[in-house]
Amino acid sequence: MKPAKRKSLKRRLTIQLLLFQIGSLFIVSAGFVAYLSTGGGGSALLSPQAAQITANALVRDKNGRLALKETSEFVELRSNTPDFWFVAVSETGEIVQGGQVPEAFSNMDQQLSDIKLSDIREAALSYSYLAVVRIAVVRRVSGPLGEFAMIGKGGPFSMTFPVLLFSNILIMPILFIMSLVTIVTIPWIIRREFLALSSIARAAETIDIDKRGYRLPDGDIPREVQPLVHAVNGALKRLDDGYERHKRFILDAAHELRTPVAILQTRVETLLDGPSRNRILADASRIAVLAEQLLDLQRLGGQKAPLIPLDLVSLCRSVVADMAPLAISQGYELSFEPEEEPILALADDASLQRALMNIVQNAIEHGGNRGTITIKVAANRVIDICDEGSGIPEEDRELVFDAFHRLRPQDRGTGLGLNLVQEIIRYHGGEINISDSSTGGACFRISLPYC
């Protein structure tokens, strides 16, 4: 079953905060529109129809001054809008007003006279209005006496005003800048606040069995995350304590085994020669090897020896010399084939020698007591140890490195040799794998890093 895709907390927070900001802008803008459309204190919203009716009602009296004529349309407008008022200025700067002009706009006649009609840009509709003075919409309308700039209040409200408001040259940049700042800063702020969590994640990735005692840093993390970090550190401490108890147990058990095994071997050696004596000696030797391998594993997991430049050819030659008597006595020939000399690699002499001896010992035990065991050392720090036995099935080539795993239950090995080999090679930063030799036997290949 495919695991469910995890949701990103950063993404969720960013989206929610952006939606909140956009919603807040929308609510504030809608409230502002409602405030103006309902005639809130200081607002002046004159509908285009009312402005046109007023412009059509402007005439000149007998003295040639602007005056307001009570046309039927204007009378109907005033009856439908009892609080109707307006202030208009002509192209020549003449000013006329009607109704009860609010105090906030009582001095607007002078400001209107300073506005040139050409400064009020044409709108896409049949009437033009784009300049905003304070919170009053200035409309540009044409009447029998020419064009007028007009503010006021009255007439039917339509949805054209919100379009006007949000398309206004003063409003749009503000909304655009606010939106841009919000979109940019919110993700940045969230990423910055998550840096501490990212550093904890990177620190957690470095924890392994060889870095016992390490704890996640908790100095610069949010208070809400501290309980989780403390819980993880507590779990790490309990694991460290359990590992130390396990390590002490293995060491103590291995040390305790060495003495009785040595005594057993000494007593068996005093017995008369015979099949029983040889079997008992073999069993005692197997127990002794097991104890030594347990100690080797614990030493490898504890204080490790430093890796220094080492000649692999010289090391392998020493292993061949040590293992030759045993191999020959079991019916094998040993072949040593270095590609060149010297071949240097960073290694620990004692542990790498133990690993090579274990592989040769494994070849002696499982090679069928015939043929040649070949040790090759290539210039690229690759060591091949091959036999001419029956080989290892491909499906078992990973399992043989598990502790106490045996291909055949009757095997008399300890079950720790190849596991120890793998741990040693890993400690050296190398790799070990198994393939078929040219004769069908098993071939162990060790690849070590550059010096």
pLDDT-based confidence at residue 156 (cuts at 50, 70, 90): low
Higher pLDDT, 212 or 54: 54
119 shares a domain with 30: yes
Higher pLDDT, 57 or 204: 57
pLDDT at 112: 61
pLDDT at 118: 43
pLDDT at 396 > cutoff 50: yes
141 shares a domain with 26: yes
142 shares a domain with 67: yes
Decide if 48 is inside a domain.
yes
Mean pLDDT along residues 128-138: 49
Higher pLDDT, 178 or 424: 424
316 shares a domain with 279: no
Decide if 44 is inside a domain.
yes
Decide if 319 is inside a domain.
yes
| pLDDT tens digits, one per residue of 360-376 | 988 988 888 889 999 99
168 shares a domain with 233: no
| pTM score, whole prediction | 0.45
144 shares a domain with 15: yes
Decide if 210 is inside a domain.
no
Average pLDDT, the chain: 76
pLDDT at 442: 92
pLDDT at 415: 54
CATH number at residue 434: 3.30.565.10
Decide if 334 is inside a domain.
yes
Mean pLDDT along residues 122-137: 41
Q: Are the C-beta atoms of residues 385 and 363 closer than 8 Å to each other?
A: yes
pLDDT at 121: 43
Cα separation, 206 vs 204, whole angstroms? 5
What share of the chain has pLDDT > 70, as a percent? 68
150 shares a domain with 90: yes
Q: Are the C-beta atoms of residues 86 and 68 closer than 8 Å to each other?
A: no
Mean pLDDT along residues 307-333: 90
Higher pLDDT, 286 or 224: 224
pLDDT-based confidence at residue 124 (cuts at 50, 70, 90): very low
pLDDT at 123: 34
- For 435, other C-beta atoms within 10 Å of its C-beta total 14
pLDDT at 444: 94
pLDDT at 133: 39
Mean pLDDT along residues 172-195: 77
pLDDT at 137 > cutoff 80: no
124 shares a domain with 52: yes
| pLDDT tens digits, one per residue of 14-28 | 788 778 877 877 787
Structural domain for 427, as ranges: 307-447
Decide if 209 is inside a domain.
no
| pLDDT tens digits, one per residue of 22-56 | 787 778 777 766 655 555 444 567 788 888 998 99
pLDDT at 291: 66
| pLDDT tens digits, one per residue of 251-274 | 666 666 666 677 777 776 776 566
pLDDT-based confidence at residue 378 (cuts at 50, 70, 90): very high
Total domain count, the chain:
3
pLDDT at 397 > cutoff 70: yes
36 shares a domain with 127: yes
pLDDT at 68 > cutoff 80: yes
Mean pLDDT along residues 192-205: 80
Decide if 213 is inside a domain.
no
pLDDT at 169: 46
Distance of CA 293 to the CA centre of its chain: 42
| pLDDT tens digits, one per residue of 274-307 | 666 666 766 666 666 666 666 666 666 555 667 8
pLDDT at 158 > cutoff 60: no
139 shares a domain with 25: yes
424 shares a domain with 339: yes
Structural tokens at position 337: 């084939």
Mean pLDDT along residues 119-146: 55
